[in-house]
């Protein structure tokens, strides 16, 4: 508790640095205060007289709680408060000793936890009453020091709540980031596995039906299945590299790039060999990387659905610039959406990709039948 002879200023409250061991950071202010209290006590030896042994013992009792303020804040503050009160009543008020108790008041608010920190204000009040009991001081003095001690405790308590809120926010942000990353990888795996397996299934079914009548065509389909499988393994290796935190590399040392609009002719060729004729119309300048990859995945998923689910024989792909947006459209000549149609993982993934780039996605019955997928992306948009 405060002295009645000197005006106190709030001391700087040290924080543990990442480079300083915690025990050293805890002990340093305790040692400084211990030395300062010893100097003051010996300087007042004439006034203290034969009570010096008590003064030295209480000096130790005041310094030790400062070193323990982080590990046992409430106990340390209680011990320090009792020692400070005993010093004022049995020895003589010191202008230095109250600083040690200020460290304790802050530590209760900062380190004691939400429940135990609530004991700080009652202990401050009791300490102030015990410290000033029997002293001839004006009423404003203990009230002022009570306000100071409570302010120090409140500062520590507010600091603890602020750090706790920051920790909660960091955990929330980390959870959102992990969820977004899981969703992104799920989209990648679905696009890769769904497209490749569907294509291979269609090709395998065609090869099975043609193996007796046109063995040469069957061999071509089997070669295409092998090529599709090899491409799928390469992309799967890239996705697994993302999960491991290290991007896989080609033998030449370059990281494998995710396919974009430039690879659409190869995709169109593969779909055509699988039995879906595709007309590709491009009238747009090169897209930013994120949009480029999104456009490719939209076309890939739409053509895969057309080949596998709609019974289409022909599809049109359009990528055009319209003012400040890029339009990606895929329209097939299949049966269109069935009654009660609900989007599956592929169409949901298309909508998620578009939304991530501040774009929009639509799908449904085409103007003259068939199934239409339309995605609009802002030319400079991105997440």
Query: What are the tens digits of pLDDT across the range 120-155?
Result: 899 999 988 888 887 877 888 889 889 999 999 999
Which of 61, 143, 149, 161 is CA-nearest to residue 106?
A: 149
pLDDT of res. 12: 46
Using left for φ > 0, alpha for ψ between -120 and 50, and beta otherwise, residue 240 falls in alpha
Instruction: Yes or no: say if 356 and 188 are a contact pair by the CB < 8 Å rule.
Output: no
pLDDT of res. 246: 53
- 325 beta partners: 322, 378
DSSP 135-157: ----THHHHHHHHHHHHHHHHHH
Which of 94, 89, 78 is CA-nearest to residue 2?
A: 94
Q: Which backbone phi and psi does 332 adopt, to 5 degrees?
A: -110, 170
Helix (H) or strand (E) holding 230: helix 215-244
Q: What pTM was computed for the model?
A: 0.54
Residues of the chain with pLDDT under 50: 3-17, 248, 250-256, 381-383
**Rounded CA gap, 106 and 112, in Å?**
10
């Amino acid at each position: 508790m405060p002295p009645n002879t000197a005006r106190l200023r709030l001391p700087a409250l040290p924080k543990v640095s990442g480079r300083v061991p915690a025990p050293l950071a805890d002990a340093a202010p305790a040692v400084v205060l211990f030395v300062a209290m010893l100097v003051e006590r010996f300087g007042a030896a004439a006034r203290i007289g034969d009570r010096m042994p008590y003064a030295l013992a209480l000096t130790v009792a005041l310094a030790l709680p400062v070193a323990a303020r982080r590990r046992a804040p409430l106990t340390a503050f209680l011990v320090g408060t009792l020692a400070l009160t005993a010093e004022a009543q049995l020895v003589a008020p010191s202008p230095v000793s109250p600083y040690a108790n200020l460290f304790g008041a802050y530590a209760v608010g900062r380190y004691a936890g939400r429940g135990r920190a609530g004991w700080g204000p009652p202990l401050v009040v009791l300490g102030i009453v015990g410290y000033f009991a029997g002293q001839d001081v004006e009423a404003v003095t203990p009230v002022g020091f009570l306000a100071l001690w409570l302010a120090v405790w409140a500062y520590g308590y507010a600091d603890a709540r602020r750090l706790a809120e920051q920790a909660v926010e960091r955990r929330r942000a980390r959870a959102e980031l992990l969820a977004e990353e899981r969703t992104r990888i799920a989209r990648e795996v679905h696009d890769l596995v769904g497209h490749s397996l569907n294509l291979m299934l269609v090709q395998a079914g065609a090869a099975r039906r043609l193996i007796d009548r046109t063995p040469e065509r069957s061999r071509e389909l089997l070669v295409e299945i092998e090529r599709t499988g090899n491409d799928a393994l390469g992309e799967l290796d890239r996705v697994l590299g993302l999960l491991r935190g290290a991007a896989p590399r080609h033998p030449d040392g370059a990281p494998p790039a995710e396919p974009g609009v430039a690879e659409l002719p190869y995709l169109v060729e593969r779909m055509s060999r699988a039995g879906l004729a595709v007309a590709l119309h491009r009238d747009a300048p090169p897209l930013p990387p994120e949009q480029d990859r999104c456009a490719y995945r939209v076309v890939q998923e739409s053509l895969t659905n057309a080949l596998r689910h709609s019974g289409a024989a022909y599809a049109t792909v359009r990528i055009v610039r319209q003012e400040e947006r890029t339009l990606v459209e895929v329209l097939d000549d299949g049966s269109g959406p069935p009654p009660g149609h609900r989007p599956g993982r592929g169409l949901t993934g298309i909508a998620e990709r578009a939304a991530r780039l501040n774009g929009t996605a639509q799908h449904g019955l085409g103007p003259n039948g068939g199934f239409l997928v339309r995605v609009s992306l802002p030319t400079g948009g991105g997440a």
